[in-house]
Amino acid sequence: MSNLSEDQKSLVEKINILKREKNAIVLVHNYQRPEVYDVADFIGDSLGLCQEAAKTDADIIVFCGVSFMAESAAILNPGKMVIVPFLDAGCAMSDMVDAGALKEFKKKHPDAAVVTYVNSSADVKAVSDICCTSSNAIEVVESLPNKKIIFVPDKNLAAYVAKNVPDKEIIAWEGYCPVHHFVNKEYLDEVRKEYPAAKIIAHPESKPEVLKEADYIASTSGMIECAKKDDADEFFVITECGMTERLHREIPKKKFRGLCNLCFDMKKNTLASILRCLEEEKPVVRVDRKIAEKASKAFDRMFSLTK
């Protein structure tokens, strides 16, 4: 349990009562505010959240993350109601590609398979061959028969995959995450000097020069596993600022430091807005049925390869 104020405790209680009454679950990404963890039925990375969304028996999914994640839950659960506190909680990286531009790009590389990182809109997924997340991108690319891969939209994740799957030609889209992309090697050198005992864990959305220096490269949930397994008592994580809270909560005996780079859209959700959303059962996340059918094929391929 987080260190909650009396007001927050009362909000948590109200949300939990409504969840039971409405047979609702709350899915929460690791970057959410710590008090939001207290109403979560599941906290995880994009892959874990997709898996939970795909298997739930709940009637309502309250999604606490950003829009591409909630859209994914809606695509994977066509008969269920997916609601979010704010429809405009977006992802800067996912806005760097649109379906029209990707369709044009594909024409230049007709023999390539399109691997799309889940940080993308449903429209983009609908014109892709397969989805991937930060925890299975290498596995997904390795498993494809195509030699040529268009990797969308993160150029840093694309470079990480290219390094690990050298027999494929990876054609990267020019997208990036502003939270991770502006960290450089000089910054890491300073971290090493200041905290020589700390192991560095970097998210694969980081630049190649950063990943090269890291002790571990992992998705947000993968970071928790790395820190649990490693004997070190101190870690520095190169990812969104909220991840250190999540790590403290999972592994209270170890010390975690990190960047103060915020993903503002991830921080929009509050307990009050979650309660309002559950009371009013809106806003509802809607994905056009034809788009959802096409996008769900890209998800199915990912799930069948990475079970």
DSSP secondary structure string for all residues of 188-216: HHHHHHH-TTPEEEE-TTS-HHHHTT-SE
Kindly state the smallest distance separating residue 66's Cβ from ligand SF4, in Å.
5
Nearer residue to ligand SF4 within complex by CB, 66 or 224: 66
Do the Cβ atoms of 150 and 175 come closer than 8 Å? Answer: no
Closer Cβ to ligand SF4, 123 or 240, answer by number: 240
Tell me which of ligand SF4, ligand 13P, none is bound by residue 18, counting a contact when its beta carbon lies within the kind-specific cut-off of 5 to 8 angstroms: none
Among 60, 118, 177, 211, binds ligand SF4 (CB under 6 A): 177
State the nearest-atom distance from the C-beta of 271 to ligand SF4, in Å. Answer: 20
Residue closer to ligand SF4, measured from CB, 266 or 278: 266
92 binds, among ligand 13P, ligand SF4, none (CB under 5 to 8 A by kind): ligand SF4
Is residue 40 a contact point for ligand SF4 (CB under 6 A)?
no
Contact set for ligand SF4, span 101-160 (CB under 6 A): 119
Site string for ligand SF4, 214-253 (x = CB under 6 A): --------------------------x-------------
Calpha distance 208→154 (Å, rounded): 12
35 binds, among ligand 13P, ligand SF4, none (CB under 5 to 8 A by kind): none
263 binds ligand SF4 (CB under 6 A): yes
Task: Map residue 59 onto helix, strand or coil.
Answer: coil
- Give every CB contact of residue 5 below 8 A, 6+ residues apart in sequence: none
Axis-axis angle for helices 67-76, 46-55 (nearest 10): 30
Cβ nearer to ligand SF4, comparing 11 with 73: 73
The region, left, alpha or beta by phi > 0 then psi within -120 to 50, assigned to residue 230 is beta
C-alpha separations of 80 from 69, 184, 247, 284 in Å: 15, 42, 31, 10
Q: What is the largest CA-CA distance in the chain?
A: 59
- Total residues interacting with ligand SF4, rule: CB under 6 A: 11
Distance CA 205, CA 180 (A): 6
CA distance 257 to 241: 9
Residue (60 or 69) nearer to ligand 13P, CB: 69
Query: Which residues of the shown chain bind ligand SF4 in the complex (CB under 6 A)?
Result: 66, 91-93, 119, 177, 179, 205, 240, 263, 266
